[in-house]
């Protein structure tokens, strides 16, 4: 059986950032201040439900602000866009996450800052909901997205509530302007419990993949959100997900994202995949230092920048057929990360027979550099498993035929 190179690649990325111990864990919540700063994890989940991860991928941590886009999506799904827009705007604020601010119509600027998130939390489960019912609705919904029962870290929320003066002032401000109707203490309790739902990097990757896939859960295939809700959520994440670092983030990494003060970071590439990292030390803007580094590398290596103008492909593996002792793998379209992942996934799940494998690129249009590396790596692994491999490339779309070990792949004319 062949092995999948993506986890090895993810491990390499973790090795590259491992020694960067700059930044500080969040210190305004006592339990977070005492947290282990060392865990490091990365996880990906494609819209087809293939999950890859490396590092401390099963260590649990609290979602904190990463809960905001998911709560926003649920509010949009439950109440509709119009009502949600009446309560919270969609403009980047350029301010710190806990700024006391409203726009000209007395609405929080966006759902990614605390003012917006506290207001969004209050929309869940109707105006008459108790705090416990509202939080249970969120917990159950997040669990469905993650594909397992998530729990709440009540020790953490108690610890946060001992010093929640800032969020209480925000809630009082919201109540003063009739943005929320609940008692300020209940509003902050409800929001803080939402922030204290525990996840792993793998959970977050699966949760984000539903947003990437227009609301269809990558593993159960259930439709959990409307595609328009996902689009709107991703748009707000793109413009305001990284607080006052949002502009710089969009330029350098180029994917909708959200960070949390416990050290989690999620990113979503529409139509392709969800990504999550975990590393608790934060930069002065409140974003995970090593998480940001990992995302920069992934975006660069995997061609994930949303503003890049390359075509997105689908159904990249046209067919795998057998003719005597020869297996033909026919690829089609633009070869990007998803296309190469589909190729690798197809070959590791295929039972090869005979003695020769031919990769047919006659219907392939373009090769992103990541696809050149990944597809050649897959071919090399087939060769190393004992097959004679060759590439049919009548239009010369593959830039070179050299494997990572310096040997040359046979080309058919
Ligand atoms: N519960 C945290 C707060 O409201 C979340 C902040 C964050 O993750 O950015 O202060």
pLDDT tens for 244-290 read 788 889 999 999 999 999 999 999 999 999 999 999 999 998 899 99
Q: What whole-number distance in Å separates Cα of residue 152 and Cα of residue 63?
A: 10
What pLDDT was estimated at residue 310? 67
What pLDDT was estimated at residue 316? 93
End-to-end alpha-carbon separation of the chain, Å?
30
Number of Cβ within 10 Å of residue 171's Cβ equals 28
Q: What whole-number distance in Å separates Cα of residue 348 and Cα of residue 1?
A: 7
What pLDDT was estimated at residue 308? 83
Residues 317-412, CATH architecture: 2-Layer Sandwich (3.30)
Residue of 343, 360, 342 lying closest to 397 (CA atoms): 360
Please, what is the angle between helix 67-79 and helix 184-195, to 10°? 120
Q: Where are the domains of the chain?
A: 6-302, 317-412
Question: Could you give the percent of the chain with pLDDT greater than 90?
Answer: 87
Q: How confident is the model at residue 51 (pLDDT cuts 50, 70, 90)?
A: very high
**Burial zone of 110 (CB within 10 Å; 0-12 exposed, 13-18 middle, 19+ buried):** buried
| 64 DSSP assignment | G
Q: How far is CA 261 from CA 48, 124, 326, in A?
A: 30, 23, 54
Judge contact between 280 and 35, C-beta under 8 A. Answer: yes
136 is in an annotated binding site: no
Please, what is the angle between helix 201-212 and helix 227-240, to 10°? 120
pLDDT tens for 339-376 read 999 999 999 999 999 999 999 999 999 899 999 999 99
* pLDDT greater than 70 at residue 313: no
The pTM score is 0.88
Is the CB of 261 within 6 Å of ligand 1? yes
Judge contact between 211 and 145, C-beta under 8 A. Answer: no
- What separation in Å is there between the alpha carbon of 260 and the centre of ligand 1? 7
* pLDDT greater than 80 at residue 378: yes
**Closest CA to ligand 1's atom 6:** 65
Is the CB of 62 within 6 Å of ligand 1? no
Taking 3-state DSSP, the helix, strand and coil percentages for the chain, each rounded to the nearest 5, stand at 45, 20, 40
- What separation in Å is there between the alpha carbon of 305 and the centre of ligand 1? 27
Q: What whole-number distance in Å separates Cα of residue 296 and Cα of residue 76?
A: 30
| 65 DSSP assignment | G
Residue of 217, 202, 199 lying closest to 145 (CA atoms): 217
The mean predicted confidence, pLDDT, of the chain is: 95
| 355 DSSP assignment | S
Sheet holding 51-55, edge to edge: 51-55, 41-46, 273-278, 264-269, 257-259
Give me the residues paired with residue 265 across strands. 259, 277
203 membership: H or E segment, kind and range: helix 201-212
* pLDDT greater than 70 at residue 314: no
Q: Which two tokens stand for residue 353?
A: 């027979």
Mean pLDDT for the stretch of residues 192-213: 98
Is the CB of 114 within 6 Å of ligand 1? yes
* pLDDT greater than 60 at residue 234: yes
- What separation in Å is there between the alpha carbon of 65 and the centre of ligand 1? 5
Question: Could you give the percent of the chain with pLDDT greater than 70?
Answer: 99
Judge contact between 39 and 280, C-beta under 8 A. Answer: yes
* pLDDT greater than 90 at residue 77: yes
What pLDDT was estimated at residue 200? 98
Q: How far is CA 378 from CA 34, 67, 381, 389, in A?
A: 44, 37, 5, 11
Q: How confident is the model at residue 315 (pLDDT cuts 50, 70, 90)?
A: confident
Is the CB of 67 within 6 Å of ligand 1? no
66: left (phi over 0), alpha (psi -120 to 50) or beta: alpha
Judge contact between 298 and 290, C-beta under 8 A. Answer: no
* pLDDT greater than 80 at residue 329: yes
Mean pLDDT for the stretch of residues 21-32: 92
pLDDT tens for 164-179 read 999 999 999 999 999 9
Residue of 136, 140, 137, 135 lying closest to 188 (CA atoms): 135
Identical fold between 6-302 and 317-412 = no
Q: How confident is the model at residue 1 (pLDDT cuts 50, 70, 90)?
A: confident
What pLDDT was estimated at residue 113? 94
Is the CB of 288 within 6 Å of ligand 1? no
Q: Which residues of 354-387 are buried (b: 16+ CB within 10 A; e: fewer)?
A: eebbbbbbeebeebbebbbbbbbbbbbbbbeeeb
Number of Cβ within 10 Å of residue 314's Cβ equals 12
The fold of the 6-302 domain, in CATH, is Beta-lactamase (3.40.710)
What pLDDT was estimated at residue 245? 83
């Amino acid at each position: 059986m062949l092995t999948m190179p993506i986890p090895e690649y993810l491990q390499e990325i973790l090795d590259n950032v491992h020694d960067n111990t700059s930044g500080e864990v969040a210190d305004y919540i006592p339990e977070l201040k005492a947290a282990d700063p060392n865990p490091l994890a990365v996880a990906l989940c494609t819209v087809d439900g293939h999950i890859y991860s490396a590092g401390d991928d099963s260590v649990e941590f609290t979602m904190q602000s990463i809960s905001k886009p998911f709560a926003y999506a649920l509010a949009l799904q439950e109440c509709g866009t119009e009502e949600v827009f009446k309560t919270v705007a969609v403009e980047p604020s350029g301010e710190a996450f806990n700024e006391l601010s409203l726009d000209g119509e007395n609405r929080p600027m966006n759902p990614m800052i605390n003012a917006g998130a506290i207001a969004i939390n209050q929309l869940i489960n109707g105006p008459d909901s108790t705090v416990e019912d509202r939080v249970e609705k969120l917990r159950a919904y997040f669990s469905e997205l993650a594909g397992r029962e998530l729990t709440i870290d009540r020790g953490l929320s108690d610890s946060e509530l001992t010093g929640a003066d800032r969020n209480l002032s925000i809630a009082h401000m919201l109540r003063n302007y009739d943005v929320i109707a609940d008692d300020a203490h209940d509003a902050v309790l409800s929001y803080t419990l939402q922030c204290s739902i525990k996840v792993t990097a793998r959970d977050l990757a699966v949760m984000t993949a539903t947003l990437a896939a227009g609301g269809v859960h990558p593993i159960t295939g259930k439709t959990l959100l409307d595609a328009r809700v996902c689009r709107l959520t991703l748009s707000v994440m793109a413009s305001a997900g990284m607080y006052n670092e949002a502009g710089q983030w969009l330029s350098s990494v180029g994917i909708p994202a959200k960070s949390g003060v416990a050290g989690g970071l999620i990113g979503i590439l529409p139509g392709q995949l969800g990504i999550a990292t975990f590393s608790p030390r934060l930069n002065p803007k409140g974003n995970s230092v090593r998480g940001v580094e990992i995302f920069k590398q992934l975006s660069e290596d995997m061609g994930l920048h949303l503003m890049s103008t390359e075509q997105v492909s689908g159904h990249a593996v046209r067919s795998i057929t057998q003719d005597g002792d020869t297996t033909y793998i026919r690829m089609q379209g633009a070869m990007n990360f998803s296309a190469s992942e589909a190729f690798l996934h197809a070959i590791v799940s295929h039972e090869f027979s005979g003695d020769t494998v031919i990769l047919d690129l006659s219907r392939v249009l373009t090769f992103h550099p990541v696809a050149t590396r990944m597809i050649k790596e897959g071919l090399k692994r087939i060769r190393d498993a004992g097959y004679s491999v060759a590439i049919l490339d009548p239009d010369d779309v593959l830039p070179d035929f050299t494997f990572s070990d310096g040997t040359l792949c046979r080309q058919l004319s």
